[in-house]
Structure 1
Amino acid sequence: MKTICLQLLSALALAAPAAAQDTPRPDQLAFRSLYKELVETDTTLSSGSCTLAAERMAARMKAAGFADSQLTLFATPEHPKEGGLVAVYPGTSKTAKPILLVAHIDVVEAKREDWERDPFVLIEEGGYFYGRGTLDDKAQAAVWVDTLIRFKQAGYKPKRPIKLALTCGEESNGAFNGVEWLAANRRELIDAEFALNEGGGGDSDGKGKVIGQSVQVGEKTFANFRLETRNPGGHSSVPVRDNAIYQLSRALTAIDEYEFPVEMTDVTRRFFAESGAARGDETGAAMVALAKDNNDKAALAIVDKDRFLHGNIRTTCVATLLDGGHAPNALPQRAGANINCRIFPGHSIESIKDELAKVIGDPGVTITQLPPKRPAPPAPPLDPKVIGPMEKLVAQYWPGLKVIPSMANGYTDATFLGAVGIPTYGIPGIWGDPDGNGVHGLNERIEVKSLYVGRDYMVDLVKAYADKP
């Protein structure tokens, strides 16, 4: 009977995308409650607590029947509010390796005075859920928790063990990172054949139509550099040419005007070719042309108009912080800036530092790499055993769409998992709008249908892996 019920649940999930649902299903209402609690738990670094969010999710899982031995809450004395949760759903096979579901529960800062709505109140309006973290990444985190709760309630017995890690620190470079800590200190908790993460997903036309689905298989390396100029200073009534602020500004202008060379990996070339062909517009045609020839200047000029595509084919370095001077009536003795670089695969951080020095061309500008200093992880393989189920389900949910491999411009917690030998994939499913949905910015949102349909897809994807190791 349990098997029949599970088959029925799966069939209902697969049927969900085909029919518009104005009225949420009972299971979607239960999920909404969990999602609301997670979104409304402030997990910013400045004033929130990932530890509290993890405890609340653990309480829900325990109420659903998870034993204490299956739930591990963790935090360190130095970072008591930056804790997380690892949950283990056992499998029946003694030899099948686990899969790991990972999601970060920390969010980017959000000031109430800047937002149209309270960023820490889940608001449904005009077919969207609004709130900080509604998309990045509490949507995925809530789905993973809900998935294991549904499995427990249904008595589902997968062959492969399923692990879940909710962690903090992904949004704060240099802060405590839960995945990094687990990999270094509790590797046995998260050890898995592969992991499913953020970074992939779908694209819509901004009018409700899903036009693409991708799987993330690799990402750039990030590095922060401190640029600094120094000067003896003096009285502001006696200006000199050798001014620390002006010297720094010339260095920043040189970086701003410099474009790193165009490059492609096998993954990005395939992404440009397949995604471009699917677009059917001028940019799409230029993407296809550039995939054939990196030196096609006409195609590059069109592609570079798109911010994401511009960054996807080269290293980028941009000023993000600025400071200088010590008094309004004194010449500056010091000026500094933070340069954030997203480094294309195949380049070391040191080589980019050297390139910046050449671009600036002024030995009086010091360049110092800032912590954390992390090597680039290897990109996961395009393993048919992993990619195949994604493709099959995408074809069922969104007929006519293919799963296109992509590389992330930024970085995710895949950095730390890949470094310890756990291939990590950003999965298809949940989709976003062309404007980025306010992620990391103001009025972050996710389409309600995207969350509900994406959730069904993700449940079926986990079952596909868990049933057939």
Structure 2
Amino acid sequence: MRLITTLLLSAFLTPALYAQSNLLPVVDKTLARDIFKELIETNTTDSVGSTTVAADAMRKRLLDAGFPESDVVVLGPNSRKGNMVARYRGRSGSAMKPVLLIGHIDVVEAKRSDWTTDPFQFIEKDGYFYGRGTQDMKDSDATMVESFIRLRREGFVPNRDIILALTADEEGGKSNGVDWLLKNHRDLIDAAFAINPDAGGPELEKGRAISMGVEATEKLYADFRVTATNPGGHSSLPRPDNAIYHVADALGRLEKTSFPLETNEVTRAYFSSSSETEKDQLAADLKAVSGPVPDPAAAQRLSKDMIYNSLLHTTCVATMMFAGHAPNALPGSAVANVNCRIFPGHSQEEIRQELIRIFADPTLRVQYVTDAGEVLEQSSDRRSMAPPPLNPEVFRPLEATVQSIWPGIPVIPEMETGATDSIYTMNAGIPSYGFSGMGIDRDDDRAHGRDERIRIVDFYAGVQFEYLYLKALASQ
């Protein structure tokens, strides 16, 4: 099954050729770059940054563009965790419920020593923009703000209100902006459906777009704390029950364990559609896992690729470890964090119990860590969200916009292997769809990593995509 029947056009226009065309006016190219730079150079990490500073800056830009003060607000639970909500007023008398655009403006931590450039300086080098958030997701934040300004300058009146929410703490922290707004100011962001550019988008092979992904479901996020304890002591008298060894042995067993092979309607559709864009053994293997019963041999070959592996299994990996207090003393405890991305249909508690089984060490303590950092003895029984209905109001303009920029590429359903704020909007009854115009090469995914970057021509293609899509969406 394919979500959307694509139109095959004879011409193919690459993002580079498109971005170099005259379709993106210089004034908007400059504006988008300036907004992007301002966001990148505003530190919005949980430890020392402030989303309020970024939110205030974006509010000022919209006010300077003529948006009424009453329609652009910054609010949040404290002075550092501000969220900006802007409303672009639609046609007077329209009975259509608003559209909600959501985008987090916080970013993950970045150590200067890990990077070849300053992560909080906007660097243009070798055809790329570098900086923390260039892929995740200040690129899309910039395009949404730029599109609001551009459409207003043109005098465009949408057929309904469009709401833009730039929010805090998607990447960590105790004050998730989407969750906070839904609980405290639902009226500001209530909508018929939500578009979340934090997922999906053009998939590129060496700069050439091969498909447009749309997040239709996502894995469930969970962190687990694995702890071993013992009395410790002098390092000259090593104990056989060294806490570090206990945790290390458990993590070694996890490393060698693969969770069961699984597919669902969304991933099967993805594999089927992707098989038509690939060749030879890869195409055959993708087709072989697209049926109701996936071929184990094909799945094993595909699992050597980290992306396909994450689409076929629940994945759990050690991400942090702490132990000891002195180089000449045995550790009294050792603690590791295991991060899991759970296949839809399974709960966090189910996976916690599976980890206990894999570790096979009754002396270990396996606890669940909430998004707010609380450590609990038991996890939630909540499962991943069900895919939303395929709303033609969303997909008709999407297909038209995709074909205008990347003719001939298919629109393909995806399961997000990470986690996004769509989990909050979906749980609040707002159908949510994940896609953007920001193309990233499959082998250059640097989100959350060092030297995060986006190709300049792909950024400008994404700027034009956002503008064209919003205009088509709100003109139906």
Shift of 1:333: 2.3
- Please tell me the residue identity of whatever aligns with 1:245: I
Deviates more, 1:457-466 or 1:16-25: 16-25
Residue 31 of structure 2 corresponds to residue 30 of structure 1:
yes
Match for residue 383 of structure 1 among 391, 398, 401: 391
Distance change in 2, residues 1:19/1:369 (3 Å): closer
| Conservation of the 8 A alpha-carbon contact between 1:262 and 1:294 | no
**In structure 2, distance between residues paired with 1:462 and 1:288:** 34
- Please tell me the residue identity of whatever aligns with 2:108: V
**In structure 1, distance between residues paired with 2:134 and 2:390:** 29
| Alignment match, 2:274 | 275
**In structure 2, distance between residues paired with 1:251 and 1:16:** 46
**In structure 1, distance between residues paired with 2:15 and 2:270:** 29
**In structure 2, distance between residues paired with 1:397 and 1:18:** 10
User: Counterparts of 1:57-136 in structure 2 under 5 Å?
Assistant: 57-77=58-78, 80-92=79-91, 93-136=93-136
- Please tell me the residue identity of whatever aligns with 1:457: F
Match for residue 440 of structure 2 among 432, 436, 439: 432
- Please tell me the residue identity of whatever aligns with 1:82: K
User: Counterparts of 1:42-441 in structure 2 under 5 Å?
Assistant: 42-77=43-78, 80-92=79-91, 93-172=93-172, 174-197=173-196, 198-206=198-206, 208-292=207-291, 294-372=293-371, 375=382, 376-441=384-449
| Alignment match, 1:446 | 454
Distance change in 2, residues 1:257/1:422 (3 Å): same
Identity between Structure 1 and Structure 2 (%)? 44
- Provide Cα deviations, 1:363-418, integer angstroms capped at 9, x if missing partner: 11111111137733333222333223212221222111110000111001111111
- Please tell me the residue identity of whatever aligns with 2:286: M
Shift of 1:184: 1.0
- Please tell me the residue identity of whatever aligns with 2:328: N
For the aligned residues, what is the CA RMSD?
A: 2.1
Instruction: Specify the SS of the correspondent of 2:367.
Output: strand
Distance change in 2, residues 1:240/1:113 (3 Å): closer
| Conservation of the 8 A alpha-carbon contact between 1:220 and 1:411 | yes
| Conservation of the 8 A alpha-carbon contact between 1:226 and 1:369 | yes
| Conservation of the 8 A alpha-carbon contact between 1:70 and 1:89 | yes
- Provide Cα deviations, 1:22-55, integer angstroms capped at 9, x if missing partner: 7862221222222221222221222222111111
Shift of 1:342: 0.7
Higher relative contact order (CA 8 A, sep 6+): 2
| Alignment match, 1:9 | none
Higher helix share: 1
The alignment's TM-score, normalised by the length of structure 1, stands at 0.91
Distance change in 2, residues 1:210/1:323 (3 Å): same
Shift of 1:200: 0.7
Shift of 1:229: 1.4
**In structure 2, distance between residues paired with 1:15 and 1:64:** 32
Shift of 1:295: 4.7
Instruction: Specify the SS of the correspondent of 2:76.
Output: strand
| Alignment match, 2:463 | 455
| Alignment match, 1:11 | none
Shift of 1:460: 1.6
| Conservation of the 8 A alpha-carbon contact between 1:18 and 1:397 | no
- Please tell me the residue identity of whatever aligns with 1:310: N
- Provide Cα deviations, 1:61-114, integer angstroms capped at 9, x if missing partner: 00111111101101223xx21212000011114310100111111112222333
- Please tell me the residue identity of whatever aligns with 1:371: T
- Please tell me the residue identity of whatever aligns with 2:54: A
* Count of aligned pairs: 451
Shift of 1:293: 6.2
- Provide Cα deviations, 1:208-252, integer angstroms capped at 9, x if missing partner: 211121111111111111111122333333333222222222211
Instruction: Specify the SS of the correspondent of 1:204.
Output: strand
Shift of 1:428: 4.2
| Conservation of the 8 A alpha-carbon contact between 1:217 and 1:426 | yes
Distance change in 2, residues 1:326/1:30 (3 Å): closer
**In structure 2, distance between residues paired with 1:20 and 1:81:** 36
The alignment's TM-score, normalised by the length of structure 2, stands at 0.90
Instruction: Specify the SS of the correspondent of 1:65.
Output: coil
- Please tell me the residue identity of whatever aligns with 1:444: E
Shift of 1:420: 0.7
Shift of 1:19: 4.6
Instruction: Specify the SS of the correspondent of 1:292.
Output: coil
- Please tell me the residue identity of whatever aligns with 1:153: R
Gaps of 5+ in 2: 1-12, 372-378
| Conservation of the 8 A alpha-carbon contact between 1:437 and 1:446 | no
- Please tell me the residue identity of whatever aligns with 2:156: Y
**In structure 2, distance between residues paired with 1:272 and 1:450:** 25
Distance change in 2, residues 1:466/1:343 (3 Å): same
| Conservation of the 8 A alpha-carbon contact between 2:16 and 2:458 | no
- Provide Cα deviations, 1:99-150, integer angstroms capped at 9, x if missing partner: 0111111112222333222222222222221111122111110111111111
Instruction: Specify the SS of the correspondent of 2:276.
Output: helix
| Conservation of the 8 A alpha-carbon contact between 1:377 and 1:416 | no
| Conservation of the 8 A alpha-carbon contact between 1:263 and 1:294 | no
- Please tell me the residue identity of whatever aligns with 2:61: R
**In structure 2, distance between residues paired with 1:44 and 1:336:** 24
Instruction: Specify the SS of the correspondent of 2:287.
Output: helix
**In structure 2, distance between residues paired with 1:27 and 1:15:** 20
Deviates more, 1:252-261 or 1:34-43: 34-43
